[in-house]
Amino acid sequence: MPRICDTYKKIYGELSKLPQKTPFWVVVHIVLFLGVFLYWSYFFDDYYAPTPGAIEKNIALQIMSGNMPYVDFDCEYPPVALLLFVIPGLFFRTLPSYYVAFTTEMLLFDLLAIFLIIFIAQRINLSKVRALFSYTLLIAVAAGPIVIQRYDLAPAVMVLAAVAAFIAGKNKTAWGVLALGVVAKIFPIVVAPIFAVWLLMKKQYAQLFKGAAVFAGVALLTFIPWLIVDAGSLSSLFLYHLDRGLHAESTYGSFVILGQHFGWTSVRYDFNFGSFNITSALSDNLANASFYIMGSVLIAVYALFIYQLRKQPIKLNKDKRQIYEISLLIRYVTIAVLAFLLFNKVFSAQYMAWFCPLIPLLNIRYQNLIITMLVVAGIFTIYIFPFNYIEFEYFESLPVLLMARRNTLLIIVFILIVIGRPKNQSHLGKSPKQLNNCF
């Protein structure tokens, strides 16, 4: 009997060491993406319209047939997004093979996120295991299977890569990667002022000038084919997004629909610009005002970042001060991304992937509560899309209430991160090895 107990203890001891090893997390995410998520997509295929991968495949085929986006056919996606669509099309041109290739592409970005999280966690003395567990949980539930049906994980990882390069002192690389993220999906633009403020506060004016030049250069290079062929065609890309109405899933839209549920207002259903939007005098005004509301919130976020950099603890040595400042940078990058998501007029389910690589790197109070709330918000999102989206479009009570609650949870998370303070200062003096054994 003692031998059996010793065997079990040995097995348990070996298994408990697995999360300390990076290959363990790589295998978990491969299984998650190529097993669970793919199985989910095909099992629940009837709930999705159009079929997962169909939009991306059709755009890729048009480009590979010689048609130029924005010139020969209308397209809402920026140039780097189109490149992400074309790459799987180089290998497969029919479904479901194309979709498997597209999923593999998203998996590669996911695996890159794992290594970036490890790198940053070590730089700020956070537990690698805890960070990777949180990231896995958020990807699996908060983002969910839609993470392989859209490309939003790619720009989210580009933001993380830009942050990693920035804190490693690779200034030009950071700005260049950030520019690629912006030309894939506009939301990474909110990180640029964070970088600029940091460099200005450090009086690194030359670095700021070089970074801004690289950012502008990379962004410009991606648009050169259209600037040469037909510069005016690019206006269709920008006007498409400017002309969009109030998305029903947005923070504003969900509460307006909730107001209709209680008889306080009235809205109409309107499907255009590839999404379910709502129209009424109130919703139209909110759509028009959303840019200014979001801009005001972001300005306040940048002002708070400046204030926090100025009031940092004065009793920290050089190494601890660096950890404190980098942690602050990551926190405000997260806040800025959440501000864009919450106060924008469009909020699709796939946008939940935007914050997943950043949240695990926070070291603030309420961290466990924040992750729990995001997981619950993810469950609400998955319940509505894909399972009950038709019911949501017809303003049925449960999905309407859950959507409002989802966005309320995200607003609370946003507030908790804004007011959150470091859990303690003790982690500033621990080695990465010590912290990786704390989980």
d(CA 399, CA 390): 10
Would you say residue 430 has pLDDT above 50?
no
Do 215 and 188 touch, CB atoms closer than 8 A?
Answer: no
d(CA 83, CA 63): 10
Which of 107-116, 168-177, 234-243, 274-283 shows the lowest per-residue confidence on average (mean pLDDT)?
Answer: 234-243
Would you say residue 420 has pLDDT above 70?
yes
- Residue 96 preceded by cis peptide, ω within 30: yes
Burial tier of 224 (Cβ tally within 10 Å: 0-12, 13-18, 19+): exposed
Looking at residue 275, what is its pLDDT?
Answer: 80
d(CA 423, CA 324): 12
Alpha helix segments (H runs only) across 92-204: 97-123, 128-137, 153-167, 171-182, 192-201
Question: How far, in whole angstroms, is CA 389 from its chain's centroid?
Answer: 22
- Residue 78 preceded by cis peptide, ω within 30: no
Model confidence over 407-418: pLDDT tens digits?
999 999 999 999
Specify if 206 maps to a domain.
Answer: yes
Which of 259, 217, 258 shows the shortest CA–CA distance to 398? 258
DSSP 385: I
Looking at residue 239, what is its pLDDT?
Answer: 80
Length of the chain as a residue count: 439
Model confidence over 71-119: pLDDT tens digits?
999 899 999 999 999 999 999 999 999 999 999 999 999 999 999 999 9
Is the model more confident about 44 or about 120? 120
Query: Whole-number mean pLDDT of the chain?
Result: 90
Specify if 310 maps to a domain.
Answer: yes
Which of 137, 56, 177 shows the shortest CA–CA distance to 379? 137
Model confidence over 338-370: pLDDT tens digits?
999 999 999 999 999 999 999 999 999 999 999
Report the number of distinct structural domains present in the chain.
1
Do 36 and 194 touch, CB atoms closer than 8 A?
Answer: no
DSSP 382: H
Specify if 423 maps to a domain.
Answer: yes
Would you say residue 437 has pLDDT above 50?
no
Specify if 7 maps to a domain.
Answer: no
Do 193 and 302 touch, CB atoms closer than 8 A?
Answer: yes
d(CA 86, CA 324): 41
Is the model more confident about 301 or about 423? 301
Specify if 94 maps to a domain.
Answer: yes
Specify if 350 maps to a domain.
Answer: yes
pTM: 0.92
Specify if 419 maps to a domain.
Answer: yes
List the structure tokens of 352: 């939940």
Q: Coil, helix or strand for 364? A: strand
Instruction: Count Cα atoms within 13 angstroms, Cβ side, for 399.
Output: 18
The domain in which residue 81 lies consists of 22-436
Specify if 282 maps to a domain.
Answer: yes
